[in-house]
Structure 1
Amino acid sequence: MSDRPCPSGGTSARLREELRGRLEASGLAGAVSARREKSLLRYRMFADRDPRVLLGLEPEGEWTPAELLRLMAEKCGVSADPGCAAGRETIDPDRTLAALDRFADRLGRAAERREPVLFGTGHPGNLLPFYRGLAAALSAAGCPVLTPVRRGHIDLPTRFGVRPHHVGHTGRVAVVRSGPGGTGGTRGPESQGGGGGEVHTHSPLPVRAVLDAAAGTGGLLPELVVGDHGWVCGAGQLGLDAVGLADADDPAVFVAEEEGRVLVAVPLDDGVRAPYYRPLTRYVLNRACLSR
């Protein structure tokens, strides 16, 4: 880890402009893959308090679809025109960069204070390498990066009905895997928590389960949770510091930020190929003065 403080917070105007170009070229920002039709549907579902889009958040405000559209235009840069009902969504790369700076600054404070940190993702196929890089850097900086495992299984809904899943870890990042949990068998040197494929989920149940496991065994509890979807909203709802990533069709994370439950919501496309997130890892580590 670089000694703190580091020049210009570890970034420069050149690095920032380079990343801005990469965000748009890769589809992480600018014209993104999220469809306007899906976004508007999810805004209506959120207004109706559909648990599938609340991600574990219990909103304080009423949040009508019109209010959500205004919020998402402010936070993400989507079109504020209610008459725009189809096509690709747009995320403003400058909003992404501003949020990434705040995200990195919170990680930098965690490193300075040697805080216990929990990482978790519901998009392991895309976002796992991004979080793994951050987790490794924080661990090298002296932060306890937590990997509590809840034995047994968690029942999660799938398109085929409710099925058993369990929480494991890959590279110090919590993920959900299919099948009931084992007794800590491994799939490799950086995996723990039993077999089963890593799955995509927006549920808050995994973060609740691992926090319950940590509390039940008298282990460390995180002072910061880093993740997405149910990981970040679920942690924020429980009163923990939480920062994370969210797409233009995931209003819950941005509502949580607006209401003070989530510290930072970074707007970007969460479904592009994993290698496209590497420049974000480098940028965040530089900004947080965690580059090695």
Structure 2
Amino acid sequence: MIDPERTLVALDAFAERLEAAAQRGATVLLGTGHPHRLLGFYAALADALSAAGCTVLSPAQGHSVDITTRFGLRTYNLDYVRGVALVREPAAPSSGRATGAHTHSPLPVRVALAAAAEAGGPLPELVIGDHGWVCGAGQLGFEAIGLADTDDPALFVGEAEGVVSVVVPLDDAVRSDYYLPLTRYVLNRACLSQ
């Protein structure tokens, strides 16, 4: 069961981090392992942060990411949709389509961060996402905030260990349009509504 009070407290802390990033024109990286459900939420954040003067990174576009799954080794391609990173099957259509693979792996964010570092470009001051995107970035020392399903403790453990800055408890498997009130709430609290 999700405690609504804890979710609201976490949403407020999440919005505070977004507002601070926007005020300083921070460089940010957004990624999701739940593109079918959460892409719209993160894309709205990417749009708002970009409009506020933040640089939204998209390193390693098209790079391969090998992820071991319960079905064996799978190769995915790193792609960006509206400023949000996701992985997709190599045969899947790309170029802005929302279709992507579900993953909890930290490997995509590691590939993205390594590519940004190798290119000598800016590194993110804030990583926003879920699952492996947040945990993987936090383990590497980047400030990371994200959404987490209460049945997956990884982000909550990361927050307790001080590796993840903010974790918002929610159900990450509801219809994507159900996150619209959450999106509006966060953008309003972060003073990023357009």
TM superposition score category, shorter chain reference: over 0.9
Residues 150 and 209 of structure 1 are in contact (CA less than 8 Å); yes or no, is this contact kept in structure 2? no
Give 1:150 deviation, angstroms: 5.1
Distance 1:175 1:152, change over 3 A: closer
Q: Deviations over 1:256-288 (max 9, x none)?
A: 111111000100001100000001110001000
**What TM-score results when the alignment is normalised by the length of structure 2?**
0.95
The structure 1 segments of at least 4 consecutive aligned residues displaced by more than 3 Å after TM superposition are none
Bigger CA radius of gyration: 1
Q: Secondary structure at the match of 1:203?
A: coil
Aligned partner of 1:178 among 72, 85, 89: 89
Q: Does 1:149 align with 2:60?
A: yes
In 2, the alpha carbon distance for the partners of 1:129 and 1:252 equals 23
Q: Deviations over 1:198-217 (max 9, x none)?
A: 10000000000000000111
Distance 1:152 1:286, change over 3 A: closer
Q: Deviations over 1:180-234 (max 9, x none)?
A: 89xxxx844x46xxxx951000000000000000011111100000000000000
Give 1:115 deviation, angstroms: 0.3
Distance 1:244 1:144, change over 3 A: same
Q: Secondary structure at the match of 1:95?
A: helix
Q: Deviations over 1:89-146 (max 9, x none)?
A: x010110000000000000000000000000000000000000001100000000011
In 2, the alpha carbon distance for the partners of 1:237 and 1:95 equals 24
Q: Does 1:103 align with 2:14?
A: yes
In 2, the alpha carbon distance for the partners of 1:235 and 1:141 equals 23
Q: Which residue in the other structure is 1:258 paired with?
A: 160
RMSD of aligned C-alpha atoms? Answer: 1.8
Aligned partner of 1:278 among 160, 172, 180: 180
In 2, the alpha carbon distance for the partners of 1:180 and 1:166 equals 9
Q: Which residue in the other structure is 2:43 paired with?
A: 132
In 2, the alpha carbon distance for the partners of 1:271 and 1:116 equals 29
In 2, the alpha carbon distance for the partners of 1:235 and 1:276 equals 27
In 1, the alpha carbon distance for the partners of 2:179 and 2:94 equals 24
**What TM-score results when the alignment is normalised by the length of structure 1?**
0.64
Give 1:149 deviation, angstroms: 1.7
Residue identity (%) = 62
In 1, the alpha carbon distance for the partners of 2:67 and 2:23 equals 37
Pairwise mapping of residues 39-118 of structure 1 onto structure 2 (< 5 A)? 90-118=1-29
Residues 166 and 180 of structure 1 are in contact (CA less than 8 Å); yes or no, is this contact kept in structure 2? no
Amino acid at match of 1:273: R
In 2, the alpha carbon distance for the partners of 1:143 and 1:247 equals 28
Q: Which residue in the other structure is 1:287 paired with?
A: 189
In 2, the alpha carbon distance for the partners of 1:202 and 1:265 equals 15
Q: Secondary structure at the match of 2:167?
A: strand
Structure 1, unmatched stretches of 5+, are 1-89
In 2, the alpha carbon distance for the partners of 1:284 and 1:209 equals 28
Aligned length: 194
Q: Which residue in the other structure is 1:204 paired with?
A: 106
Higher relative strand content: 2
Q: Secondary structure at the match of 1:91?
A: coil
In 2, the alpha carbon distance for the partners of 1:179 and 1:129 equals 22
Distance 1:146 1:152, change over 3 A: closer
